[in-house]
Structure 1
Amino acid sequence: MFPDHIPLPRGNAAVLSSILVMVASFSFMFSCSKASIIVQHILFHLFILFLSRSIQKLCEFLEECRHIPSRYKNCWKAFAASVSLKECGSGAVILILLCCLAHESENDHVDNWSSLGWKISSTCFCYSLLRILGFYEPTTAQISAICEKNKFNVAHGLAWSYYIGYLKLILPSLEGRIKEYHRTFENLAEFRGTWKLYILIPFNCKVYDKLEKMDNRIKFLGNLPELRIDRAGIKERSYKNSIYSVYDENQMCHLCILEYATPLRSLFEMSNDATAALSKEQRLEQAKLFYVTLDNILNNSQECAGLYKLIPYDDDLEDRKMNSHFLSTKILDNMVQERTEYIVPEENTWDETLNDPMVSDQALMISESNDPQPLQSRGY
């Protein structure tokens, strides 16, 4: 499924394509006309484009004027939000250059003032007609690109809320709570290499309350000791994490701390509520962006480093070729990967060297004298 089904940041393909079109167009014009005519026509069409944009900005400004008290507080902020000063400056420069060329070429067979005025008037009429018909509304791809660039997506807010309001609180204390649980039940030492929180991220946003209903090879074992934090006026707010037994095809038990990413349920509920106006396709896109954003946040978090594992999957894509145990299989695959990559920690709760006869037979000899003594080994 990966990486083809994970959206990547948009690149510069559109800009490069525009450059190719510019080069091809200029080459054709240069082969057919003189340089002065080419410059005049380019300036004229640039001016027309800036004029059409100005009409669009003016219409938007008139709409924003209705919201000055509630959104902008003054007229200048509304104007700055609707009109780009860069575009205004560029348009003014192009207009001055166009006027100079038109004045110098009145007797040439190029556009004069009367034809220039007629073309501007016709362009304004055509642009206004096309705007009324909706041809200048941004496309879905443009809206998506703007939202991703400026962090306006629902997924972006959900991912940050999930991290700041939950993961950043519970992950730093996860290992300590696992050790406390182990002192009571002594059944977690075997999975020291997977002492982390496994977070399920289904792209269809179907979050089940009981994992056993999703896969009968996953069994609830117990809860880690609660984490209690004073939070937002709530005294000793409780945070829990659950331990599950995940069985492989040979009925061998593997323990892990497992849960869904709960913000995905919000996306699912939004897609089922007409007032949220979130379609199934948009929900899928937001779920993928949620995973990408959360992964990026956690990768840059020192507090959560090495304490989590994201498990993204798409039920709708995999359902055609998977059996009823696809979830347990996917979890076990990630656990095997974690064990393979696991490095022996600096501080062990058990000393494996005590079982080594070559090591246990040694003794540390300390001299009672403060004077230097010669080095010697036992038996010599």
Structure 2
Amino acid sequence: MQHLRDQDAIIPLPRGNLPKVCSVVLAVITTVALGVMSSERLFGWAALAILTMTFGPLLHGLCLLSEEMLHHLNTRHRCRVLHVASACGLWGKTLLAAVVAGLVLYLTRHTLPHKNQHWELLFLTPVVYTLLKSLGILGPSEVEVSDICEGRKMNVAHGLAWSFYLGYLQLVLPRLEDAIAKFRATHLSSIHPHQTPLWSRGSKKLLILIPLDSNIPDKLEDEDNNIYFYDNLPNNEMNRAGIRGRVYKHSVYRVHDEKGKVYDCAMEYATPLLTLYRMSQERSAGFGEPERRQQVLLFYRTLQDILDQSLECRNRYRLILLTDECKDDPHSLSKTILRHLEQQEKEEFCLHPPLNQELVQPFQNATSGNKEWHRAEPMSREPTLMISLEKPQPLREPTENTDSWFRET
């Protein structure tokens, strides 16, 4: 299963709080160092630094406010002035930090040297910050933008994963077991006696293929000649979005291994990946190959998280990420599928042991001649209720034996 562990290694994990921890540690070290050097000026310096840093975003927010109020108040904000101020960063934590820092600076102003000089720096720094911010020099890095988009679920992959789940998987996966049962019942007579029985091996879950390059063929057998299309499962018809009797279907494939064994499974590609592939082919989308690869990985992780929390879809699916490591192998697709099927067989175990399973007594009485005691008994048996016909006896009270003890002594 080394290949499957390597597959998990390329899935990006959610970003943690390490930058926050580093910043807190750096702030504590700096504060302690300044406190040792001059403890009476520490609060004044801290207030001055906070006020200087918060004035910059507030001043830049005023510049953004002018654009929003003049051109986008009605179309983007529906004439909600408070919403505009909040969207421009003129409300919330930044404003609260500036007010608190200004109050502390006013109370500790007598501890700062050169009282007239720090006010010049206080007004000059926000103006320079606003200029650099507007020119894009102090803009957010790619990591910050990615963290914001992932944290607020703003990526293309998040929308595609939720659309795939709510518009398709949540509707069809709860009906998958019934569809497979009907399929086996109707196709049982069509199997030749010398052929492998239908679904004797394989998986009764829906195998969802997610290629990393998002290049999806129309037919699986075109990718690997060890995969054969067998038939379609019974159609699922339901009224959806004004469409009467909309049809949802799954295809059944037979996968052959190197020894000739046949594995049956319902299998398909994740169709939203076609959107990612087409977007990377359009210049107007501004969506290159590196961005597409990253979105495919985020799609896989997001869809896995959604399905793990879905009670309707639990134990009815399996996501298979197809990497581009073995593209030269013409049977790479079937080998990957067989590896996942093998892992699934190892993960599943029988909850109900056979009734004829026997438990051998671990101990044998060498002096006893009763052979019935050594007879193996079934491990599980039907519970029986044993009723005694004797009258209940009272509990025995403790008896004192102090007299006998004194006689012995």
TM-score by length of 2: 0.78
3-state SS, counterpart of residue 304 of structure 1: coil
**Equivalent of residue 54 in structure 2, options 50, 56, 70:** 50
Q: Give yes or no for contact 2:237–2:246 (8 Å, CA) kept in 1.
A: yes
Matched residue count: 339
1:303 aligned onto 2:307: no
Alignment correspondent of 1:30 = 35
Alignment correspondent of 1:216 = 225
Distance 1:20 1:311 in 2: 41
- The verdict on how the C-alpha distance between 1:138 and 1:26 changes in structure 2, with shifts beyond 3 A counting, is same
Distance 1:279 1:352 in 2: 60
- After superposition, give the CA deviation of every residue in 1:232-262 in whole Å (9 maximum; x if it has no partner): 1111111111111111112222111111000
- Structure 1: state its 5+ residue gaps: 354-380
1:16 aligned onto 2:8: no
**Equivalent of residue 190 in structure 1, options 187, 200, 203:** 200
Q: Give yes or no for contact 2:50–2:97 (8 Å, CA) kept in 1.
A: no
3-state SS, counterpart of residue 68 of structure 1: coil
Structure 1 counterpart of 2:128, which letter? C
Alignment correspondent of 2:102 = 95
- Bigger Cα displacement from structure 2, 34-43 vs 242-251: 34-43
Distance 2:351 2:281 in 1: 46
- Bigger Cα displacement from structure 2, 266-275 vs 20-29: 20-29
Distance 2:93 2:126 in 1: 21
Matches within 5 A, 1:100-249: 100-102=107-109, 104-105=110-111, 110-112=113-115, 114-186=116-188, 187-191=197-201, 194-249=203-258
3-state SS, counterpart of residue 265 of structure 1: helix
Alignment correspondent of 1:271 = 280
Displacement of 1:37 in angstroms is 2.2
3-state SS, counterpart of residue 74 of structure 2: helix
Structure 1 counterpart of 2:317, which letter? Y
Distance 2:172 2:96 in 1: 52
Q: Give yes or no for contact 2:210–2:270 (8 Å, CA) kept in 1.
A: yes
3-state SS, counterpart of residue 71 of structure 1: coil
Distance 2:355 2:198 in 1: 16
**Equivalent of residue 84 in structure 1, options 85, 91, 94:** 91
Distance 1:133 1:161 in 2: 37
- Structure 2: state its 5+ residue gaps: 1-5, 189-196, 357-409
Q: Give yes or no for contact 2:232–2:250 (8 Å, CA) kept in 1.
A: yes
Displacement of 1:281 in angstroms is 1.4
Q: Give yes or no for contact 2:199–2:264 (8 Å, CA) kept in 1.
A: no
Distance 1:90 1:38 in 2: 17
- Bigger Cα displacement from structure 2, 248-257 vs 114-123: 114-123
- The verdict on how the C-alpha distance between 1:345 and 1:264 changes in structure 2, with shifts beyond 3 A counting, is farther
* Percentage of identical aligned residues: 35
3-state SS, counterpart of residue 118 of structure 2: helix
TM-score by length of 1: 0.84
Displacement of 1:165 in angstroms is 0.9
- After superposition, give the CA deviation of every residue in 1:266-297 in whole Å (9 maximum; x if it has no partner): 11111111122212111111111111111111
Q: Give yes or no for contact 2:165–2:303 (8 Å, CA) kept in 1.
A: yes
- The structure that has the greater radius of gyration is 2
Distance 1:239 1:51 in 2: 57
- After superposition, give the CA deviation of every residue in 1:315-368 in whole Å (9 maximum; x if it has no partner): 2xx147x6221110010111122223334589xxxx999xxxxxxxxxxxxxxx
Distance 2:141 2:177 in 1: 48
Structure 1 counterpart of 2:130, which letter? S
Alignment correspondent of 2:298 = 289
User: Between Structure 1 and Structure 2, which shows a larger proportion of helix residues?
Assistant: 1
Structure 1 counterpart of 2:32, which letter? S
Distance 2:185 2:355 in 1: 18
**Equivalent of residue 313 in structure 1, options 314, 322, 331:** 322
Distance 1:136 1:344 in 2: 59
